[in-house]
Structure 1
Amino acid sequence: MAFGADLPRRLVPIIAGQAFGLACGVAGIHLTTALVPPDLLGPYSIFLTFAPVGMWAVHAGVIKYTARHWADAGHRPELLRQITRAGARKLPWLLLACAVGAWASGGTAWWLLLPLLFVTATLLSIATLTQTALQAARDHWRDSAVLSAAAVTRSFLPPLLFSAAGGSAIALYLGFGVHAVIFAAAGLWALAGTLQATTGAPRVPAAVPEVYEGPLFIGLAVTGWTLLSLGRWVTAWFFGPTETGYFALASNLATLAPAVLATIFLMYVQPVLFAARIESAEERLALARRVDRVALFHATGALAGLVVLRLLLPWLVGSLIDARYAGIIERVLPAGCFALAITTGQFYHVMLLAGRREAGCGPAELSAAAVLVAGTVISAALGMDWFLRWLLISPVVPWLVNRPLARRALLASP
């Protein structure tokens, strides 16, 4: 797999940021399990699935447009104004999604959580847009600094505020809200530096193209967000709050390997693929083969990391992780495999965007999502054992569904 001559210059800050975030996440898990009981962590984890609904669903098309066009925009301030207007138009939809999330997380106290969730989700969208622009501009050191600030606040603020408030559940939610404020502020500060590095006349469309704001990307975004949250939602529905707490912590641990590796690979290859000239059949085939290699390398590394984590867990529970969370041991590997199924599909999404075959994303991703959702719900209805078995085999889905459908769309004659 040829990464390019600029490998050290670009990969060092990417890996440094991810490594620091990983260290903060591990320390945060130790702190959270020591301070927060499983029956409170479960409902809080449902809140956390709705907090990123803006970045993962409502504003996903705008974020993808930023990733695709920021690097080659002749006048970035104008592009930023365009992106801001497009994002603001979607805030009523974000408020509606947050109302559902507040009800699911807080029950009768939903009205207390709604303003906090709406502000938090909006700030996370802003933070993600700034990070996307930094990554597209290959300004990896600034992006790494933003990621590091977010890792500290996300990992430590919620459990510390929970403890300082004497075990008040609302303090957990407030802690995450403060994290969102700091994350967005750091992102905007870092982005201000890249706005100076722009020359020439505006070279952007008059508006965000329909393909990024229309039903295709909205549907794909909602689907992706649903898959990310599916395990916790299904566990809460079928198995109760304590099991949800176990599964949430298992997911937090298990997602590290596939998510960190996917982030590193995508942050490195995505700007290169988007900048490449991909028009002829030979260039499209070369793109497909390169993405296959990257996806396979990611899957192999993630599976190895998950196996190592599973072998270490009996020792980690009781030392790094509080003993009352011993129930996560048998759930970590299945949760990690499901995360791997999701992250593998992202490589074929990027492949279609790079090849300007955006319409092909729909059949590939919606078909795979249908299989993953159906398998997860049906297996959970059959009991915990079947649920965990299904999660273990779920990584085959993107190779059997996403890959062939995405390649067919990429390589088809225009």
Structure 2
Amino acid sequence: MNITKEQIDDLNAVVKVAISKEDYQDKVEKILNDYRKQANIPGFRKGQVPMGLIKKQYGKAVLVDEVNKLLQDNLNKYLTEEKLDVLGNPLPKQPENFDWDNDNLDFEFELGLAPNFEVQLKTKKAVTHYKIVADKKMIDDQVERIQKQYGKLVSKTEVGKADEVTGTFVNEAEDINNKTTIEVDKVKAKKAVDALAGKKVGDTVTLSTKGLFKEDYLLSSALGISRDKADNLNTEVTFTIEEINERQPAPLDQELFDKLFGKDNVKSAKELKDRIKEDSEKQFEQQSDQKLLNDITERLIDDTKFELPAEFLKKWIQVSGEQMLSDDEANEEFERSEKGLRYQLIEGKIIQENNLQVQFDELKEFAKGFIKSQMAQYGHMDPKEEELENIAVRVMSNQDEVKRLSEQLMSQKLLDLYKEKANLKVKEVSYDDFIKEAYS
């Protein structure tokens, strides 16, 4: 067997594979002999079928199968040994009238080669790295929510503007019949607030659904209908009052602090606000980091210029899926995937040049951290190391989970690298301003 490469240009090459009869004959003969031993053909005893008949019936299929195996194994080995960085897979250039009866068989494969380029992490224009701070209003609002959440309900005889009212919404035509509790201070429509004010248990009021609440999502849960239906609903519903309560806020005392953070971990309102600020900004950091990762990705794609073997990739896209694509479909798919392919090449080069690797031990520690944060969401704040170890072992026995966690850990390594070496401009903003600037 002889394999040679013809370089067409920097991004395209053709590999030629010459296979002689000696390369495949022994394997083909062995398989055909095995077929002969097992063949059951009427008129012949088992194992006594003439080899000529076996070759006539199976010879071509066996030959094609064995030659294709030789091609696959040796082509992959050649690409590895020659350190050819190919995009997609080699595409065969086999003519339609290929003659499998020749003793010597010649094959050609088109290759699309990865381009040579440099990545500059210090981009010309700085990328904004948002540092989201919890402002006074956000902290005060959170304290107020905590006080309401842990406060006590006091029964009332009449509806006031800050009360919680339990009742049933009804509209037979829209198939609405739902018992719920609403907070009057979350009702937006002035007519609705005025209609509820002063009402007593047993009273029924008629309310318009359009613009009923300050937050649109509240309507679907209040009426017990889907969000899509609620968004387009413009009708009237009756609301029959069954219970009226005032939620008196919990005092900012040690009992409340201990419920929230454990005994004596927080001892004053100031410490409570400091803790809320710290915890909130940790959560904001995840959003800020994701925004930074997205923005640097976009900047690197824009700033790192290189050509791709576009025509080869379009041909490869045409034939690589379950169904053959038309020229137009392949062009469209290439345009959709080109940006992602460019970043894969850029990211791969960054990982290689900075020797970023995911080791098993650090992946297991990363998994433990992820598990610990998940457990904390369900109130399990201090799991034992043995418990974390056992769960991590189970998680890492699942290859899909290992792949997902490895990708997350590599993203974190890239993010750390960008924070260290990229051209960043830190900007402090409130959460509301971050949302406006980042996603407007």
TM exceeding 0.5: no
More helix by share: 1
Max Rg structure: 2
Normalising by structure 2, report the TM-score: 0.22
Q: Which one has the bigger strand percentage?
A: 2
